[in-house]
Amino acid sequence: MAKTVGDFLLERLRLWGVERVFGYPGDGINGIVSAFGRNPSIQFVQVRHEEEAAFMASGHAKLTGEVGVCLATSGPGAIHLLNGLYDAKLDRKPVVAIVGQAVRRALGGHFQQEVDLSALFKDVAGDFVQLCTAPEQARHLVDRAFRIAKAQRTVTAVIFPNDIQEAPAAEPANGHGSIHTGVDFTQPLVRPGARDLERAADILNRGEKVAMLIGAGAWNAEQQVVVVAESCRPASPRRCWARPCCPTTWFIPPAQLGF
């Protein structure tokens, strides 16, 4: 059997380091779901509802720092993803949503379960949401979806019509109008200026009763948070979406702020 776009999609996900995809089967993604049976290197985690798939992808991103991936069929399946995708967007976690769509020749004909998915996802995945209309597009759409999700710490979406999923995979040609992308991204290292660090240290050193509010931006800075806290000995450090950087064995149990 010739490699399909669905097969190519899973191979590309593996190249981006994806080990599992959370989703729920449906007629609009048969070409992708069947590809999982031919690719044992990537796990399909079947949920009971598409909303769970999006929340699990969001949770995966929050707990691992990796990109979460969710999969849903066209129409109502795609709509059900929204709640979980907004959870990731508002917490600034990278999630890529892959959704099915009616066959290309039926689009615009009020076909069964046809929804304008580009408009539907325009807010939650506003940084990148695209419809794949040719097999040669799949490569750069997937690559850009992952690169933007990682760089912007946001939600992106790629829409695959049913017939595209089952079409033979094809690489972009070497010609005008073709786009060639690669699988690579390195998160930039952002450091504050020396003057700002000195000002912050001076404020902490002069403080007599220091209170710490630890936000989500410190999720990957556990060591630095602990050093500052042990130096300042805050009366009650409070964390806001920063549980991963607060050790359970801390000398002062941190309080959790709820909203």
For residues 189 and 133, the model is more confident at 133
Per the DSSP assignment, residues forming a β-bridge with 152 are: none
Average pLDDT over residues 146-153: 96
**CATH of span 5-165:** 3.40.50.970
Per-residue pLDDT at 252 exceeds 70: no
Average pLDDT over residues 13-25: 97
The pLDDT score that the predictor gives to residue 105 is 80
Average pLDDT over residues 87-113: 89
The pLDDT score that the predictor gives to residue 247 is 62
Confidence grade of residue 205 (pLDDT, cut at 50, 70, 90): confident
For residues 12 and 186, the model is more confident at 12
Token readout for 190 is 């952002």
Average pLDDT over residues 87-95: 95
The pLDDT score that the predictor gives to residue 21 is 98
For residues 211 and 11, the model is more confident at 11
The pLDDT score that the predictor gives to residue 43 is 97
The pLDDT score that the predictor gives to residue 241 is 53
For residues 242 and 75, the model is more confident at 75
The pLDDT score that the predictor gives to residue 153 is 94
129 alpha-carbon distance from chain centroid: 13
Cβ partners under 8 Å of residue 254, min gap 6: 214, 236, 237, 238, 239, 246
Return the percentage of the chain with pLDDT > 90, whole number. Answer: 61
Sketch the domain layout of the chain as residue ranges: 5-165, 194-256
Q: Which pTM value belongs to this model?
A: 0.85
The pLDDT score that the predictor gives to residue 259 is 47
Per-residue pLDDT at 103 exceeds 80: yes
pLDDT in tens, 213-251: 777 777 777 788 888 877 776 655 555 555 555 666 665
Amino acid letter, residue 81:
L
Q: Chain-wide mean pLDDT for the chain?
A: 88
The pLDDT score that the predictor gives to residue 242 is 53
The pLDDT score that the predictor gives to residue 20 is 97
Report how far residue 73's alpha carbon sits from residue 23's, in angstroms, rounded to the nearest whole number. Answer: 9
Least confident of 133-142, 168-177, 215-224, 239-248: 239-248
